[in-house]
Amino acid sequence: MAFFKREKKFNPGLLSDLDKKLVYSLAKSRIPKLGQIKYLNKFLSRRERLFMSASFAVLIFSLVFLGFGFYMKHLETVPKKGGDYTEALVGSPKYINPLYASINDTDNDITHLVFSSLLKYDGNGNLINDLARSYEISPDGKTYTFKIRTDAKWDNGTNITADDIVFTVGAIKDPAYKSPLLNSFSGVDAEKIDDETVKFTLSEPYAPFLDLMTFGILPQSVWSQIPAGSASLADLNLKPIGSGPYEFKSLTKDKNGQIKTYTLAANKDYYDGEPNITNLTFKIFGSYDEALQAFNEKTVDGISRLPEGMKDKVAAKNAVSVHKLISPQLNLIFLNSKNNQALADLNVRQALAFAIDRNEIVNQVFGGDARIANGPILPDNFSYCQDARVYNFDKAKAEQLLDNAGWSIVEITDGDINKIKQAQKNNSKVDEYDDEKLALGPGAWRFKNGFLVVKLTAVDSVDRQIIEKIKNDWEGVGVKTVIDTVPAAQIQSEVIQPREFEALLYGQIVGQDPDLYAFWDSSQIGSGANISGYANKDVDRLLETGRATIDINARKEDYCKFQKDITNDEPAIFLYSPDYIYAQSKKVKGVSVNKIETPADRFTDIGDWYVNTGKKIVW
């Protein structure tokens, strides 16, 4: 019997199991190590390798995509300390001193940065604490008690105490210092309770008192060593010691001794935190035209103000931020009946008001960067009266009022002018008004025992378009208008103080509080700010009671009646309130001010400004 040997059939699965057992015997972990992964290709088919590669690519792409999304969502650009900012100022720094700075915008701008006050305005025009931690007002409105912060220091490292505040108030009230704030603090006494407490006692209630608490505080230890009579001459007026967000660093002068640059450095010990921008440099110019040229040439990063008509002259607008700030400035035409008897007639005053198209001034001259003013209190004030009389442009109404006042139209033709000139050559007259007719020229002019002529005076820096617009509007109803411009440096001494004008186009800073006693009370007619010489006993009473009560509803009622009375009498023509236009390079960020009390308040949020940036992950 044949013997057949049976061969075993090959089983690859069995070999695979043996391989696995061998691997497991050598490496107990079921998770491959990095060193083992390099052999992966030897075990994968081509199809499996392609699948693995594609899966790995998708995984990497997904991780990158998710990482980028996280980065974009959580990474923020944040302010970084450092860098410089240079701004063009127009004027000449003289007193970086709270006692004197209020009369000069250039001084006030820098003083605002160097010195602190008990209270300050925020970016929306509201009073907030500065050096003050808190304050209390007595029920009778005569006592204000302030608690001051304990972490505020002077630039020389010493602490600010109640002594400094009491000393500053005493200096303001001392006539030897000749501070323009003197009258504002009449009837105010300051008393130290302890190092952290100051009490102000008023001789009578004064509702706007808190607005006065924005005056800068001087260091007693330094200024008490300087005689009051010599204070205005002290070197400290230009190299001050303050407690604000910035401190004096340096200044440069030209060969004539005029300051050309003034540099401040960030106060590292400032109680509200060191500002982001390290150095602020102010370059001083003699005119806004020069300042704008420097801004356009990028030798400065900002210009302190763009007067009306200059915004369109800014070059590279895409690289510039133009800030439009609400300002409590009111521009009006004061009427002086003592120098022009025609203005004593209410009909004439009201006719002149109706004749001016204020909308055209706001839209054409200011490009919308102004608001129409209907009275002495601006629309954003809490006491603004909606029911007071409004003088919207109405040429027909103006003509009717002049007709009612007896001012009829007289036509003067070219032929009439030629006849007068010929008569003068023959040493004769056509009539007794020959000289007036020659001065008037051809046109339709108002006449009543003489022609109605008004001289309009304005500061020479006022946009000529505004003056010409008023002239054209008045002459459009037959009132001959003669323009007289005066240099800004002479307007006070030659026009306002001696009251040498008939109609004066001028501006007032009326402030956030409605107290306008200084501008319209009859007691201020002589040497005060009642420029029109307006006297009304009812208005006097309303102004006096309005400032003497802290009851806001009672104040609203008084000031509403005041607005009605004054717009009925129209001793001045209320025109517009211009916005404060402030331009900067877009490299400057963090500026958020919307409303200012004075131009210096544009620096209210200076600590938040920045020119350098960094990156930060925010979860």
Per-10-residue mean pLDDT, the chain, length 619: 46 54 56 61 69 78 74 71 96 94 93 98 95 96 97 96 98 96 94 97 95 97 95 95 97 94 97 97 95 96 91 91 94 96 97 98 93 95 95 98 97 92 84 87 94 96 93 98 93 93 94 93 90 96 95 96 97 97 95 94 96 73
Residue 67 maps to a domain: no
The CATH number of the domain holding residue 603 is 3.40.190.10
Number of domains within the chain: 3
Residue type, 446: R
Domain boundary among 451, 469, 486: 451
Amino acid 448 reads K
Q: Are 590 and 83 in contact (CB under 8 A)?
A: no
Same domain, 530 and 611: no
Q: Which helix (H) or strand (E) holds 84?
A: strand 84-90
Confidence (pLDDT) at 6: 47
**Whether residue 557 sits in one domain with residue 456:** yes
3-state secondary structure of 396: helix
Residues 274 and 334 in one domain: no
Q: What are the pLDDT digits (tens) for 555-569? A: 999 999 999 999 999
Q: Which of 584, 586, 590, 594 is nearest to 610 (CA)?
A: 590
The three-state secondary structure class of 23 is helix
Can you give the pLDDT at residue 3?
42
574 phi, psi to nearest 5 deg: -85, 125
Residues 416 and 503 in one domain: no
Looking at the structure, tell me whether residues 469 and 592 fall in a common domain: no
Together in a domain, 571 and 586: no
pLDDT at 30: 59
Q: What is the pLDDT of residue 74?
A: 64
Within a domain: 77: no
Residue with tokens 């010691």: 241
Task: For residue 553, tell me if it sits in a domain.
Answer: yes
Residue 539: CATH number of its domain = 3.10.105.10
Instruction: Kindly state whether residue 165 falls inside one of the protein's structural domains.
Output: yes
Q: Are residues 464 and 509 part of one domain?
A: yes
- Domain check: are 359 and 244 in the same one? no
283 located within any domain? yes
- Concatenating the DSSP letter of every residue in 112-173 gives HHH--BSEEE-TBS-EEESSEEEEEE-TTS-EEEEEEPSS-B-TTSPBP-HHHHHHHHHHHH
Inside any domain, residue 250: yes
CA dihedral 46, 50, 55, 57 (to 10 degrees): 140
With respect to residue 594, please indicate whether it lies within any of the assigned structural domains.
yes
Containing structural domain, residue 100: 84-322+582-617
Check whether residue 357 and residue 445 sit in a common domain. no
457 in the same domain as 428: no
Enter the pTM of the model.
0.81
Pair 538, 412 in one domain: no
**pLDDT digits over 418-454, tens only?**
998 888 888 887 788 888 989 999 999 999 999 999 9
Residue 382 shares a structural domain with residue 507: yes
In a domain, residue 422? The reply is yes
